[in-house]
Amino acid sequence: MLTLLPLLYDVCSVRARDEIVAVLLFAAAPKRVRSAKSTIVAARAFLELYSAWFETVKTEDHVPSRLARDLFHQAELFPSVSQVYEMLHCAQECSGRESPNILTFGEFCCFATELKRCYDHELPKPTALSRIMPESNGRMKKPERQISKSSPKYEVFLGGSCNPTTWRQDTAIPVLKQLGITYYNPQLPHWKPEYIELEHQAKENASVLFFVIDNQTRGVASMVEVAYLAALGRKLVVVISPYAGPGQEIAGEPITKREFEDLSHGQAILHDLVERQGIPIFTNIRVALDSTATLIKENLNLQDLGPRNMVSPVKMGHVPVGDKIMKYREAFDALDTSGKGELTLDDMCMAFRILTNRNLTSEEIQEIVYGHKGIGSMEEKQNVDPHSPAIHDSILIGFDEFCTIVSEFKQKQTEHQKVWDQFLAKTASALGTLAMPLVKAFEWVMPKKAWKQANGRRRITRDVYLGGSCSDASLAWREEIAIPMLKKKGLTYFNPQTSRWQDRLIPIESAAIDSSRVLLFVISDKTRGLASMATAAHYIGLGCHVVLCIQLLQELCKIGDDQLSAQAIKDYNRGRMYLSDMATRDGIPVFESISEAVECVVRKCNGR
C-alpha cells in the first residue's frame, strides 16, 4: 500500500494528497508511532522513511537487528556493517534495553536523518592527524620498486587463501576464462624463490586485485595484506567466508571456542576496515567474479557497484552516526527533571531548541498537537486550540516520539535548503557570470555553510593511540609500561582497552585513531593478534605515523587455556613476519621490546 504513496505527489492536489496520506499512514502505523502521524505527513522525505519501514517490517513497532541494514537500504541509505552495529549499541544504551537487537521507529528516524544530511552535504572523510606530522618525526619515504615495462599485464590478480583451498581452480579460473579476462594465479604446484618478484610485478600491474578470505585456512597473512591494500586505494574485490564455529577443522585440527572468536573478530575488523574505504564486501565468489568483470569492462570503481550487482554498497562508512542519538538523549534528559521518561510539549520544544538551535514555529507546534491527539479532519481541528496551556500540559511525549519529531523537522529544514540550492542553480544558469558574485554571496549566508561548520567535528586530539593486543593477558603492557612512560613525558593517549564495544571497529573509535598524532601497535606474544595486525597494516597503508612492537609466538605457546599447535604457531607468526616486512619497506620502525617502541613514540611526539 505505502509503496504507492510517492505517486500522490504527482497526481493529487496538496490538500487531497495530505488527507489521503494521513488516512493511509494512520491505518498502517504501529500504535506507538500513530501520535506522530501529522509530522509524517509534513515532509515528503520523512514520508519516504516510513514507507521504507512499512516495506521492511509492516506495522511492527521495531525492526530486528538482522533486518536493520535492509531497512536503511529501502530508504536509499547505505551504512557500513560497523555503522549499523554502532547505531544498535548506542540506541540500546539510550533506551536502557538489555539487548542491542532492535531499532525502534524513532531511533531509525534519528539515524536515517543524520545519514541523509551527511549525504546531502557530502561530509568529507577526516584526515588522520598522524598523516600530517612533519617528516622530521622519523617516517622515511617509502622506497619504490621498479616495475619492468616488459612485465605482462594481467587484468586480475587472484590473491588470498591458498592451500588447501581450491577456489581458484574450481571457480575463479573457469569463470575468468569464459569471460575472456586474463589473470595471474600465485598458487603454483612447485614454488620457487624467483616467483616472488613475478608475483609482485603481477600484483602491481593488475587492474583488479581479487582476494578470497575463506574459512578453510587461518589466512592471517592474507588478511594483513588486504587491510593494507584497501588503504592504498587499489581496485580491490574482497570475498569473506565466515568460520562455521568451534570444532571446525583447519589443517586437520579442530579450532577451540577461543580461537573461533579470535578468527571471527579478525574477519570482522577486516570487514570494517575495507568498508570504511567505501569498498563493499562479497560473500559469494561467483557474484564477486561477475562484479569484477563489470569493473573491467565498464571501467567502474568499486563504489559504483550497487544492489543490481548483488552487493551491499557502502556510502560514507567513516561517519560516526551512533553518537547522534546520545545527543538526543542528553537534550531529552536535561528537560525530564522528574525522570519519568516523558516531556510536556513545552519542555519538548525546549529540548528541540537545544538540539537544533532554533524554535519550532507556531505551525509546527500545531502539527505536533494535531498528530498527538489524532486529529485529522478540518472539523476536529476547528474545535481544538493547539496553543492553549491546557492542551500543552495534557501532551506527554516519550523519547521515541521525541526522536521522531526532531528528525521530521530536521528533514523539513533540509528540504528547504534543497529548494534554495535549486534556486541558486537556476539563477546562476539564467543570469550567467554577471550573477555569480550575488549567488556566491547568497551561498555564503545560507545555512549550508553554517551546518558544515557546526558539524565539523571538533577533535579531542591525543598524542598517542595505544593500539594492539587487548586480551586480559596483554593488559599489563599498557598499564605497567606504556602509560607510565607517556605520563612521565606529559603525553596524552587513548586507550582502546577501556572501549565498551571491541567487537567491531566502529566509526566512533576510528575517530579516536584519526585524532592521535602517533599510532602504537603492540602485537604481543600472549595473543593471536589477528585483528590488531590487520588494523596496523591498514594505517600503515594510509601513510600514518605508526610504531610497531611485534613479538613472535614461541614454541609450546599457550593463549588462555588453548595450547597452540605447531601449525597454528606457524600461521600466526607468518602474519607477524609479513606485517614486519611490509612495515620495514614503508619505513615504519619495528621493535621487539615494548619499552623501546614506547621510547620511539616519545621521540616522534617530541619531533626528534
pLDDT digits (tens, 9 = 90+) for 396-411: 999 999 999 998 887 6
Nearest to 87 by CA among 413, 453, 496, 501: 501
CA–CA separation, 546 and 550 (whole Å): 13
Any residues with CB less than 8 A from the CB of 532 and at least 6 apart, and which? Answer: 467, 468, 469, 470, 521, 522, 523
Q: How many CB atoms lie within 10 A of CB 44?
A: 16
- What pLDDT is stored for residue 294 in this prediction? 95
Q: What is the pTM of this model?
A: 0.83
Continuous H helices in 277-313? 285-298
Q: How many helices (H) and strands (E) does the chain have?
A: 27, 18
CA distances from 49 to 53, 56, 93, 131 (A): 6, 11, 23, 38
CA–CA separation, 499 and 509 (whole Å): 8
Nearest to 600 by CA among 592, 531, 579, 134: 592
- What pLDDT is stored for residue 469 in this prediction? 83
- What pLDDT is stored for residue 227 in this prediction? 97
- What pLDDT is stored for residue 192 in this prediction? 65
CA–CA separation, 214 and 496 (whole Å): 28
CA–CA separation, 266 and 264 (whole Å): 5
Q: What is the average pLDDT value for the chain, to the nearest integer? A: 82
DSSP state of 396: E
The separation between CA 351 and the C-alpha centre of its own chain, rounded to angstroms, equals 28
User: What amino acid is encoded at 430 in this protein?
Assistant: A
Q: Are 94 and 329 in contact (CB under 8 A)?
A: yes
CA–CA separation, 488 and 492 (whole Å): 10
CA–CA separation, 366 and 312 (whole Å): 40
Residue whose entry in the numeric block shows the C-alpha cell 609466538? 553
DSSP annotation string for 216-266: SS--HHHHHHHHHHHHHT--EEEEE-----TT-EETTEEPPHHHHHHHHHH
- What pLDDT is stored for residue 52 in this prediction? 93
Q: Are 367 and 42 in contact (CB under 8 A)?
A: yes
Q: How many CB atoms lie within 10 A of CB 296?
A: 18
User: C-alpha cell of 517?
Assistant: 598524532
Nearest to 55 by CA among 41, 76, 39, 36: 76
Nearest to 102 by CA among 74, 60, 73: 60
Give per-residue burial for 345-359: e unless 16+ CB within 10 Å, then b: bebbbbbbeebeeee
**pLDDT tens digits along 436-470:** 433 333 333 333 333 333 344 456 899 999 999 87
- Tell me what percent of the residues of the chain surpass a pLDDT of 70: 78
CA–CA separation, 265 and 502 (whole Å): 9
- Which residues of the chain are under the pLDDT cut of 70? 1-45, 132-151, 189-195, 376, 411-459, 471-475, 498-502, 608
Give per-residue burial for 53-89: e unless 16+ CB within 10 Å, then b: bbebbeeebbbebeebbebbbbbebbbbbbbbbbbbb
Strands 516-523 vs 493-494: parallel, antiparallel or unpaired = unpaired
DSSP annotation string for 310-363: T----SSTT---HHHHHHHHHHHHHH-TT-SSEEEHHHHHHHHHHHHSSPPPHH
DSSP annotation string for 364-394: HHHHHHHHHHT--SHHHHHT--TT-HHHHHH
- What pLDDT is stored for residue 163 in this prediction? 81
**pLDDT tens digits along 277-290:** 999 999 999 999 99
- What pLDDT is stored for residue 515 in this prediction? 92
- What pLDDT is stored for residue 472 in this prediction? 57
Q: Are 319 and 276 in contact (CB under 8 A)?
A: no
CA–CA separation, 187 and 176 (whole Å): 16
- What pLDDT is stored for residue 197 in this prediction? 80
